[in-house]
Structure 1
Amino acid sequence: MQLDTVLALASCTKLMTAIAVLQCVERGQLDLDVDVALILPEVGKYGIITGFDDSKNEAILIPKVNHVTLRQLLTHTSGQAYDLVHPLLIKWRASRGEEPWTGPTIEDKTTVPLIFEPGTAWAYGGGSDWAGKIVERVTGQTLEEYMKKHIWTPLGIKDLTFWPKTRKDMEDRMADISMLGPDGKKVFDVPPGVFDITYGATDCSGGAGAFGTPSAFFTLLQAVLRKDTKLLKPESYEELFRPQLNEQCRQALNDLILNDQVSRDFLSVNVPVTAKKNWSLAGLLVEEDQPGWVRKNTILWGGLPCLVWFCDREAGLCGFAGSQVLPPMAPPIMKFHESFQRGIYDVYAATTQ
């Protein structure tokens, strides 16, 4: 693992997709609060799943009432959930003879029933994948083409892509995926071909599909921290950073992290369980200072093979810690990343006294 090692960035991709969306909003191509069905008729077309009739092997579905908006897709309040982890969606897939999150396109992977009425709760899901798809549809470009032109090249970044295996200069630097053993200490190599982090995708996944080096992603984070106008206007950065959830959705997010251990491991990115949280267009937002660590309104997020980033505007600090280790967001690895973050804040405190 080196600064130029190519990592699967997984859900760290969501930050770049949010930037792409806001760029399209600036140009008048998209609106955060308009019904996305005008461009993405697939979203919510099955309605809302409320249960499953095992005797008939059929999902119980009801029509949705509210529109799904782009803002909801980016903040996980649309009702869209990952079918890999939701019991009813797993049953719905099985009733159709399908496996969760399969098929080559975003439409294949993400066209599933909603799990609640849009705008009324919170669930982590493929909203950013749909957001990436809507960018593609309004611009006529793939996300690879779009981000290269409007995000990566303006910042001088070369080592970000959705297709590293098509680039010999990156393929040779790709990290292997490893697995943490049951003891939480020993690490085992995952044989090639056993785990495909793209799940056979032929589309660019705006929610989890990018690959890049730590140096490249950190360059992006630094640009976001300093509000680089090569990417967005100042008012768009404010929209990117501000808390987005209404009280009902905010409570749903906090309750999920507080009451469900699996969700806590996946979603808290080391922020204490009792700390109040919100969601921004960029990621998890901390609503109160954490002594000796991140400040209020710091944004953090990560990616499946134990990656995590943070952006603390008040302190003027950002950071990225990367690994390629499973299981997803494994607590021993995440705690190691927390030690890195806290060490950075220790240095910061010593230099600001």
Structure 2
Amino acid sequence: MAQKIDQVYEAAVDSGLLPGICVMAGNTRGGVVYCKSLGKASLKEGRDRPFTRGTVCAIASMTKLMTSVAVLQCVEQGKLDLDQDVRPMFPAMGKYGIITAFDDEQGSATFAPDSTPITLRMLLSHTSGHEYDWLNPLLGKWRASRGEIPWSGPTVEDKSALPLVFAPGTGFAYGAGHDWAGKAVEIATGMSLEEFMRKHIWAPLRLDDDISFYPKSKITMKNRMADMSTLNEKGEPPAVDAADFDMLFGGTDCLGGAGVFASTEAYYAFMASVFRRDSRLLSAESYTELFRPQLDEAAEQAFNDYLARSPVHTQFLALGIPHTVRKTWSFAGMVCLDGQEGRFKKGTTFWAGVPCVEWFMDHEAGICGLALCQILPPMHPAVIALHEEFQRRVFETYGGNSQEDSRELSSG
């Protein structure tokens, strides 16, 4: 059966759609039931390293799960409160008010003042009114009118001190809430997010040589980093080296929404620990909070409408899951309230990131999986379709809550 899973990605690597990839799957008992690595870690001339489970990748928005865990750890420690207004921590947050229109002739935006409290719960649930500027046409025009590039600059404030797009708590928009939440961790603890995660997440799991916001500064990681590759303008193979692409767009802060780099083996170990509710990270009560849907009825409808708003929203956020499958949001990621035949059961949690990376946790079936590659354009449908097929074959093979002993069935 493992051979059927192998076949999902072999043709993609052979065709040049994917330079390299590593995928892992496991179960709630902590066992790795499947692992496979294929292809190369770089298409740069003169570099011929294989893509392995130890290859270090930008995980982009999959950082958000890690930041949610860090915030809940601070809540457990009494240093943060999920429902306290965090605006006093961040004078720049929401300082422009709510953007309501943009006059193309005048090159200027219209704003409505707003002082609604913004809480960590809102930031982690994407209900705070923040939206990524590259997803919102009004914010894109506002940035351009100021001579700025979307999501650019060294700090969280440079990237994310944007006009809000709705009054906090009244809608859903995918944005940099986790970047602000990561800064709240830093203020509350007096530690950088790197230091906090190393102490409270990576070290307890013995992963601190394989995960970092600053991999190029770590001897143990620098020489194992994968290089980004890209398909052509039509999204067609073969991929080529994307030498000029900066995943962080000039960022130097610890970006809690998108800044971590990790190997497949290390991120899988973290994800699997969260999946099986490892007490080294959080209490049982905090895991319940992490995974439970956070959206009220209106915000849930706003989220489902948001996914269908445009092809861009669907490509970046829906992960190939039909609009007929009702979805909501948890601190961990997107939650499917319905199952999809042959792929996952209801309550499955997902999230992903720009270089076509993705994870899933099927709580009812007792299986989880991770796919790491480094390919552009972001969330390319052809690559996301491969991840769907990977999930389907893992579900078919291991999703029956099988009692067979956990063992690694494939490697590379």
- What TM-score does the superposition give when structure 1 sets the normalisation length? 0.96
Q: Deviations over 1:42-77 (max 9, x none)?
A: 211111000013343321011125211111111111
- Residue identity in the other structure for 2:171: A
Q: Does 1:88 align with 2:148?
A: no
CA contact (8 A) 1:312 1:318 kept: yes
- Residue identity in the other structure for 2:149: E
Match of 1:304 in 2: 354
CA contact (8 A) 1:44 1:68 kept: no
Counterpart Cα distance in 2 of 1:168 and 1:2: 18
Counterpart Cα distance in 1 of 2:275 and 2:400: 21
Instruction: Using the TM superposition, name which of 145-154 and 83-92 deviates more.
Output: 83-92
Structure 1 position 209, deviation (Å): 0.3
Counterpart Cα distance in 2 of 1:101 and 1:191: 19
Match of 2:222 in 1: 171
Among 257, 266, 274, the alignment partner of 2:324 is 274
CA contact (8 A) 2:366 2:399 kept: no
The residue correspondences of 1:127-142 to structure 2 (distance < 5 A) are: 127-142=177-192
Counterpart Cα distance in 2 of 1:107 and 1:177: 26
Match of 1:291 in 2: 341
Match of 2:4 in 1: none
The residue correspondences of 1:50-65 to structure 2 (distance < 5 A) are: 50-65=100-115
- What TM-score does the superposition give when structure 2 sets the normalisation length? 0.83
Q: Deviations over 1:92-121 (max 9, x none)?
A: 222223222121111111101001111111
Q: Deviations over 1:97-149 (max 9, x none)?
A: 32221211111111010011111111111111111111111111111111000
Match of 1:326 in 2: 376
- Residue identity in the other structure for 1:62: A
Change over 3 Å in CA distance of 1:103–1:349 after alignment to 2: closer
Match of 1:13 in 2: 63
Q: Deviations over 1:22-59 (max 9, x none)?
A: 00111111111111112222211111000013343321
- Residue identity in the other structure for 1:109: K
CA contact (8 A) 1:285 1:297 kept: yes
Structure ranking higher in helix proportion:
1
The residue correspondences of 1:218-233 to structure 2 (distance < 5 A) are: 218-233=268-283
- Residue identity in the other structure for 1:19: V
Secondary structure of the structure 1 residue equivalent to 2:268: helix
- Residue identity in the other structure for 2:210: D
Counterpart Cα distance in 2 of 1:67 and 1:10: 28
The residue correspondences of 1:1-150 to structure 2 (distance < 5 A) are: 1-150=51-200
Counterpart Cα distance in 2 of 1:208 and 1:324: 14
Identity %: 51
CA contact (8 A) 1:36 1:43 kept: no
Secondary structure of the structure 1 residue equivalent to 2:203: helix
Structure 1 position 182, deviation (Å): 4.7
Structure 1 position 169, deviation (Å): 2.3
Counterpart Cα distance in 1 of 2:60 and 2:84: 28
Q: Deviations over 1:239-266 (max 9, x none)?
A: 0000010111111111122342211111
Question: Aligned Cα RMSD in Å?
Answer: 1.5
Instruction: Using the TM superposition, name which of 310-319 and 209-218 deviates more.
Output: 310-319
Counterpart Cα distance in 2 of 1:322 and 1:125: 22
Secondary structure of the structure 2 residue equivalent to 1:154: coil
Structure of greater Rg = 2
Q: Deviations over 1:253-301 (max 9, x none)?
A: 1112234221111111222221000000010001012222212111100
- Large movers: runs of 4+ above 3 Å: 182-185, 349-353
Counterpart Cα distance in 2 of 1:233 and 1:88: 41
Counterpart Cα distance in 1 of 2:317 and 2:154: 27
Counterpart Cα distance in 2 of 1:295 and 1:173: 36
Instruction: Using the TM superposition, name which of 53-62 and 303-312 deviates more.
Output: 53-62
Secondary structure of the structure 1 residue equivalent to 2:239: strand
Structure 1 position 183, deviation (Å): 5.4
Change over 3 Å in CA distance of 1:350–1:105 after alignment to 2: closer
Q: Which has the higher contact order (CA 8 A, sep 6+)?
A: 2
Structure 1 position 312, deviation (Å): 1.6
Secondary structure of the structure 1 residue equivalent to 2:172: coil
Counterpart Cα distance in 1 of 2:109 and 2:233: 36
Q: Does 1:256 align with 2:306?
A: yes
Match of 1:155 in 2: 205
Match of 2:9 in 1: none
Counterpart Cα distance in 2 of 1:349 and 1:135: 37
Q: Deviations over 1:142-181 (max 9, x none)?
A: 1111100000000111300001111122111111111123
Counterpart Cα distance in 1 of 2:236 and 2:152: 31
Counterpart Cα distance in 2 of 1:337 and 1:213: 18
Among 153, 171, 188, the alignment partner of 2:239 is 188
Unmatched runs of 5 consecutive residues or more in structure 1: none
Secondary structure of the structure 2 residue equivalent to 1:45: coil
**Count, aligned residues:** 352
Counterpart Cα distance in 2 of 1:115 and 1:247: 19
Secondary structure of the structure 2 residue equivalent to 1:262: helix
